[in-house]
Amino acid sequence: MKKFRKQKREKPAWVFAKSLAVALVLSCAFAVGFQTFIHETINYELNSQIEEQTGDLNEHINLKAEQLKERYGYVDPDILYSELDSYLTMYTTYDVQLDQFGLFDPQNRFSVQIVPNYSKNCHAMSALTDKDGNIIASSRMNMQTMLLFQKDKDTDMDRGFYQCDLGLIDSSDIASFIRSNYTNDIYVFCDIKADSLYVNKKDRTFIPHEGRIKMTTYKKHGFFHNENGNYLVDDSIEKEETKEFTIDINDIDVDSSEYELIEVHMGIGGDEYPKAFLMNIWGTDRDTFDCFSDEFTAPDTDFSSYSYKWNSDSTATFARSRTLSIYGEPYTLNVRFVFNYMEPQLVRYYWTYTILVAVLLIIIALLYAWRRNVKNKAKYAMEDFRRDLTNALAHDIKTPLTAIGGYAENILDGGLSEDEQQRYLHSIIDNVAFTDSMVNRTLRLNTMDGSELGREKVSVGELVESTVKKYDIVLEEKNITFKASGSAEIKTNGGSLGTIVENLVSNAVKYTTENGTINAELDKKRLVITNTVAAKVDVKKLKQPFVRGDASRSNTQGSGLGLSLADRAAVMNGMVLKLACTDTEFRAELRF
């Protein structure tokens, strides 16, 4: 036979601990899942963008080569390489955007936007190599500008992009000024205005002669969506410096005879030529590019056409290589994206949502634990109540059963007169009736579980009057005066309210002294029934089952269940029953 085991009760601390543990486990699962989601999203974006950009660069290189051949009628490598340099420096980039889900971005802007050069340790670079592995064009940082020498573009054979190798002017004031302001973890806007340039039209290079450069550093990096739908740099300026410069070509390690000093007009408006515009510093940081130059000149087998490589510094390298033909000669286009998964914007984005979800889960867990503990408390209170009720019933039922047994034995023994037998029989019947009443009321009390009760409008005054009429004979015999005042109509369960009023009235009738009074005062918020008593009664335990106002538990005047029934019926209907007693008056107050 299987041994019965008493079910252990859950302690509140244990419920809270389990709930918090579940919340923490779910938070950790979300943290891992969210990190995987972010990485997979970024990887998908970068793979898509590098694939698309490799194709676009390849298409543009071939198109530019055909345009130059058609324009000049011959192949000039210097012009081609200069044009391709400009294109690679300006258009080799990526753009990773993470949606804020509208939570921290009510205007539905892409607040988290990571782009190379303006995000820490994030880079985009490209290089075009010939069949011998020599880099002939790349996205390596340089200064460049678009020069127009004549208004008629068909006769202006020297128009196009011109490059300035920053290495040539590395010792100049302008180079040191740029280096002191330009880093790849903040946004710096460089505005260069030139009055004159040294220009080499043969290989499309230039060296700035006189002009000024303004470097504007912004407090935040990233792009923000304005009301017109354009992406703008945050305009919170941290620092702004302007420096005028003059560079003498004789101080530069070049053949000055190949350069022509010309005055230029900045911008594309007006009829004054030559014009210079788009003058700025473009491309990948030179030191960063040099770190990858070996991969471009001698590609690793892992980077033959497509590759992804995780680096030890929490960055990843995405690579594409594509073979193309220019004027019948084979070339290789190499594109590299380096993304930093510890970029500050991304870290803030990750932890913001991770902590938010964790806090939300903890709040839910605490609310669940609180609700579980409330239900457990009610459940255990009901169990205790029924156990105590059963124990009390078993104890109190002994008295009438003992009396019944004693009377029955006396009758069986014989020797009793007919009057004595009748008296014993009536006592047996009375005790049986009392026992039956006690059992029935105990069962009724035991089945009150707080289930949904129907509600209706009930006149409390009429209910009190109809209940009191049942006791007219008793009131008359004990010469008890009953007074009622006030009226109220409330919406509640009529049966339950009847149980409450019945027990309060019967209790008052039962324990009111002879020649005493019972008063019922009623208003919209409460019903108060008071009655005169012979002595003060301790009311602390009166609402517990089988507890009577008098000291005796053996008399059969009452079962001690009336006030318990009234209290439980009141609780189920959202009411409150309060008891009080003085030396002369007992008070029962029912608050609606």
Residue 64: CB atoms within 10 Å = 17
User: Quick count: other Cβ atoms within 10 Å of Cβ 225?
Assistant: 17
pLDDT digits (tens, 9 = 90+) for 531-584: 999 888 888 877 776 565 554 334 445 555 667 777 877 877 788 999 999 999
Instruction: Kindly state the DSSP code that residue 140 receives in the 8-state scheme.
Output: B
333: how many CB neighbours lie within 10 A of its CB?
22
CA pair distance 592, 590, nearest whole angstrom: 6
Percentage of residues in the chain with pLDDT exceeding 70? Answer: 81
**In this structure, are 329 and 471 located in the same domain?**
no
Residues 306 and 170 in one domain: yes
Residue 214 structural domain: 12-358
Other beta carbons less than 10 A from residue 591's beta carbon: 13
CA dihedral over 302, 304, 307, 311, signed as positive or negative: positive
Residue 373 lies in a domain: no
Rounded to the nearest angstrom, the gap between the alpha carbon of residue 398 and the centroid of all alpha carbons in its chain is 62
Confidence of residue 435 (pLDDT cuts 50, 70, 90): confident
Rounded Cα gap, residues 297 and 26, in angstroms? 49
**Residues with Cβ within 8 Å of residue 418, at least 6 apart in sequence:** none
Whether residue 354 sits in one domain with residue 455: no
Instruction: Please check whether residues 225 and 109 belong to one and the same domain.
Output: yes
Instruction: Answer with the one of 336, 358, 380 that is the final residue of a domain.
Output: 358
Let me know if residue 314 belongs to a domain: yes
pLDDT at 230: 45
301 and 168, same domain (yes or no): yes
- CA separation, residue 329 to residues 77, 82, 129, 131, 323 (Å): 12, 18, 11, 8, 10
Q: Which of 95, 139, 91 is nearest to 115 (CA)?
A: 95
Least confident piece of the model among 46-50, 75-79, 429-433: 429-433
The token duo for 46 is: 């970068």
Banded model confidence at residue 219, pLDDT cuts 50, 70, 90: low
The mean pLDDT of the chain is: 82
Give the list of residues 6+ apart from residue 80 with CB closer than 8 angstroms, or none.
64, 65, 68, 326
CATH, residue 548: 3.30.565.10
Kindly report the number of other CB atoms within 10 A of residue 126's CB atom.
29
Nearest C-alpha neighbor of 126 from the set 280, 281, 283: 283
Cα(211)–Cα(214) distance, integer angstroms: 10
- Domain C-terminal end among 358, 386, 413: 358
Quote the CA–CA distance of 137 and 140 in Å, as a whole number. 9
Percent of the chain at pLDDT exceeding 90: 35
Residues 107 and 251 in one domain: yes
Report the C-alpha gap between 221 and 117 in whole angstroms.
Answer: 10
Helix (H, G, I), strand (E, B) or coil at 540: coil
Least confident range of 268-272, 299-303, 390-394, 499-503: 299-303
Phi, psi of 563 (to 5 degrees): -70, -30
535 φ, ψ (degrees, to nearest 5)? -155, 160
DSSP-derived letter for residue 534 is S
Which residues, listed in sequence order, are joined to residue 105 by a DSSP beta bridge? none
Tell me whether residue 126 is in a domain: yes
User: How far is 508 from 469, CA to CA, in rounded Å?
Assistant: 14
Q: Same domain, yes or no, for 335 and 468?
A: no
* Burial group, residue 75, by CB count within 10 angstroms (0-12, 13-18, 19+): middle
Given the structure tokens 């790849």, which residue do they identify? 184
Query: Each residue of 332-372: pLDDT tens digit?
Result: 999 999 999 998 888 988 998 999 999 999 999 999 999 98
Query: Is residue 281 domain-resident?
Result: yes
pTM for the structure as a whole: 0.65
What is the per-residue pLDDT for 288? 87
The DSSP secondary structure of 224-249, one letter per residue, reads EE-TTS-EEE---EEEEEEEEEE--G
Question: Is residue 378 in some structural domain?
Answer: no
Q: Residue 148: what residue type?
A: L
Q: Is the pLDDT reported for residue 168 higher than 60?
A: yes
The answer to whether 471 and 506 have CB atoms below 8 angstroms apart is: yes
Q: What is the pLDDT of residue 301?
A: 40
Three-state secondary structure of 8-43: CCCCHHHHHHHHHHHHHHHHHHHHHHHHHHHHHHHH
Given the structure tokens 């009131």, which residue do they identify? Answer: 475
Q: Is 32 a member of any domain?
A: yes
Joined tokens for residue 385: 């109540």
How many structural domains comprise the chain? 2
Is residue 47 very low, low, confident or very high in pLDDT (cuts 50, 70, 90)? Answer: very high
Task: Provide mean pLDDT across the span 421-446.
Answer: 72
In this predicted structure, what is the pLDDT of residue 459?
92
> Within a domain: residue 530?
yes
* Predicted confidence band of residue 302 (pLDDT cuts 50, 70, 90): very low
Domain end position, chosen among 317, 341, 358: 358
For residue 513, the 8-state DSSP code is P
Q: Residue type for 403, please? A: A
- Cβ distance 427 to 367 under 8 Å? no
Q: Check residue 304 and give its pLDDT.
A: 46
| Residue 396 reports pLDDT greater than 70 | no
Tokens matching residue 47: 């793979």
- For residue 327, the 8-state DSSP code is T
Mean pLDDT, residues 118-145 taken together: 90
Structure tokens at 196: 């004159």
Neighbours of 353 (CB within 10 A): 18
* Region 144-169 average pLDDT: 90
Once rounded to an integer, what is the mean pLDDT over residues 297-318? 72
Q: Which tokens is 506 given?
A: 């019967």
The verdict on residue 327 lying in a domain is: yes
Question: What pLDDT is recorded for position 417?
Answer: 81
